[in-house]
Amino acid sequence: MNADLQLTGRTEALLPGGEALVRASDQLFLVANSVPGDLISFTPGRKRRGAARGRLVEVIEGAASRVLPPCPVAEQCGGCAMQYLHPDIHSEIKSGWVFDAFHPCQHENTVRVPAGPVSQHGRRRLRWYVGEDGKGCFLGFRAKTAHTVVRHDACMCATPALDTLRRQLEASAVAISLSSFDSVQAVELDDGIHVILEGVPSLDESAIPCHEINGLPLQWWHRSGEKTVPLSKPVQRFHDVLPAGDEGQIVLQIGPDDFVQGQVEGNREIVAQLLRWCEGAGFVVDLFSGTGNLSLPVASALAARVAGAELSQASVRAANANAGRLGVDASYLEANLFERFSIEPFAGADVLILDPPRRGAKNVCSMMGSLLPAKIIMVNCDAASGGRDGRILQSLGYRLHTLRALDLFPYTGHVEAMSLWVR
């Protein structure tokens, strides 16, 4: 399109992901950094992922809910899409995404629980990309519409320990040959931080710049392809602490390749809600079980028998090891849940837990007529795929009892959905 062409339009809504839907010249465009009610001018661009995009030029008339972003690089950084919207509105917008996605499944008795207010708890799992500018090598997040890495002095959404770690890595960039790596991943747990340098080059242990940040020990790793090897020895083991009923807790060992929810308080709230929904269950099935993050607290708190399955061999090993350390009746199998699999170990559960990736659990949901759990609990990081899978459950005789939205990633365009289904 003509780079000099500018259109004027009114922002009608924020869509999942945080882009604004703007109507101009009888067309709809997706534009970043606008909020509902804004009157803006923008430059139309090419279609991407089937939708016409635009680049914001000027806010002609700002909406009442528009605010100055708390982050100085909000305009460029792709990490947080909702910085220009007043925090008091975030819950309404994000809850609406969840309720709209599951709308065909709701009925007059469905309980709807909106997301709570914006949390100040930071993200404990981050991947920084390596960038370089006139000031040298740095770590940052990618820009909204490009692979360009954005430099920032401080990240308001990271935990204090991880933001301190980032600055320490930048200060030691030459010593650790940071520019040779593609990215750095960090996972903060209750008793330590995994730091994973990702890319082809390796690193001598003597070049590691620090072994502790904010009182937390660091375990350094190098990842190339699918292989992750320790850089610092002896290897330290770190753990996640989760609620397990009646104010009890369990401790799970989490390795550098194991998935954990990116926000600790939000993860604990998911587990606490799941424990309430599983009350009275004697047999619980956990599909897409990961390291047992959701089902091991159930096995411990309710003395329930748990059978789980997961595609990742490493996660299955970790879940079984955690079950052994806890001394609970839980076992996990390796299975490709996106294809047909043997349902024998998982049939007839009191509760079946589904925590799939963004693509959802269409295959598993289509098998519920054979699995026949009394209750189903879904935890979806993508509300749209959750709503699609919910329609399958509905067609098989399950009714949506409770639908809950959770804002685990404040200021981003992401929302989590929890749903309880009964026969």
Nearest 5°: the CA angle 177, 180, 182 is 125
Of the residues 105, 137, 155, 381, only one is catalytic, namely 381
Q: How far apart are CA 8 and CA 162, in angstroms?
A: 41
Identify whether 80 is a catalytic site residue: no
- Which pairs count as long-range contacts for 62-71, CB under 8 Å and 24+ apart, including other chains? 62/38, 63/11, 63/35, 63/36, 63/37, 63/38, 64/37, 65/35, 65/36, 65/37, 65/89, 66/35, 66/37, 66/38, 70/156, 71/152, 71/155, 71/156, 71/411
- Can you list the alpha helix ranges (DSSP code H) found in 23-105? 87-101
Q: How far apart are CA 134 and CA 374, in angstroms?
A: 61
Phi, psi of 121 (to 5 degrees): -75, 135
Q: Would you call 194 exposed, middle or buried from its count of C-beta atoms within 10 A (0-12, 13-18, 19+)?
A: buried
- Dihedral Cα 412, 295, 292, 348, nearest 10 deg: -110
- Dihedral Cα 331, 422, 367, 329, nearest 10 deg: 10
Would you name the residues annotated as active-site residues?
381
